[in-house]
Amino acid sequence: MKCFPLAWIALLLLSSCQKVIDLPLHNASEKYVIEGNITNQPGPYKVMIGTTGKVNEDYQFKGVSQATVLIRDGIGNEETLMEMQPGIYQTQHLTGVEGRTYTLNVTIGGKLFTASSVMPHAVSLDSLYTRELFNFSKTVKAIVPVVTDPAGLGNNYRFNQTINGVLDKTLYVYNDDFTDGRRGDWPLLREDPDSTLHIGDEVKIEMQCIDHAAYQYWFSADESSLGNGNGQPANPVTNILGGALGVFSAHTSQTRTLLIK
State the SS3 of 175-195.
Answer: ECCCCCCCEEECCECCCCCCC
Give pLDDT tens digits for 61-118.
Answer: 889 999 999 999 999 999 999 999 999 999 999 999 999 999 999 999 999 999 999 9
The DSSP code for 241 is B
Distance, in Å, from the CA atom of 79 to the CA atom of 165, rounded to the nearest integer, reads 33
Distance, in Å, from the CA atom of 25 to the CA atom of 56, rounded to the nearest integer, reads 9
Q: Which range has highest mean pLDDT (9-13, 30-34, 224-228, 230-234)? A: 30-34
What pLDDT band is residue 56 in, cutting at 50, 70 and 90?
low
Q: Give the predicted TM-score (pTM) of the model.
A: 0.84
**Residue 181 maps to a domain:** yes
Q: What is the CA radius of gyration of the chain?
A: 23
* Domain tally, the chain: 1
Among the ranges given (37-46, 132-141, 159-168, 178-187), the one the predictor scored with the smallest mean pLDDT: 132-141
Q: Is the pLDDT of residue 246 over 60?
A: yes
Contact 35, 47 (CB under 8 A): yes
According to the model, what pLDDT value does residue 157 have?
Answer: 98
The DSSP code for 27 is P
Query: Sign of the C-alpha dihedral, residues 175, 180, 181, 183?
Result: negative
**Residue 168 maps to a domain:** yes
Q: Which residues of 70-87 are buried (b: 16+ CB within 10 A; e: fewer)?
A: bbbbeeeeebebebeeeb
According to the model, what pLDDT value does residue 29 have?
Answer: 81
Closest listed residue to residue 47, CA positions, set 98, 81, 97: 81
**Residue 136 maps to a domain:** yes
**Residue 182 maps to a domain:** yes
Cis amide bond preceding 44, omega within 30: yes
**Residue 167 maps to a domain:** yes
Distance, in Å, from the CA atom of 157 to the CA atom of 123, rounded to the nearest integer, reads 9
Q: Is the pLDDT of residue 4 over 70?
A: no
Counting residues of the chain whose pLDDT is more than 70, the rounded percentage is: 83
**Residue 47 maps to a domain:** no
**Residue 60 maps to a domain:** no
CA 7 to chain centre: 48
Distance, in Å, from the CA atom of 24 to the CA atom of 6, rounded to the nearest integer, reads 37
**Residue 185 maps to a domain:** yes
**What CATH number should be reported for the domain holding residue 136?**
2.60.40
Q: Is the pLDDT of residue 33 over 90?
A: yes
The DSSP code for 170 is -
Distance, in Å, from the CA atom of 233 to the CA atom of 230, rounded to the nearest integer, reads 9
Mean pLDDT taken over the chain: 87
Give pLDDT tens digits for 144-183.
Answer: 999 999 999 999 999 999 999 999 999 999 999 999 999 9
Distance, in Å, from the CA atom of 258 to the CA atom of 204, rounded to the nearest integer, reads 6
Q: Tell me the residue range of the domain where 197 lies.
A: 125-216+254-259
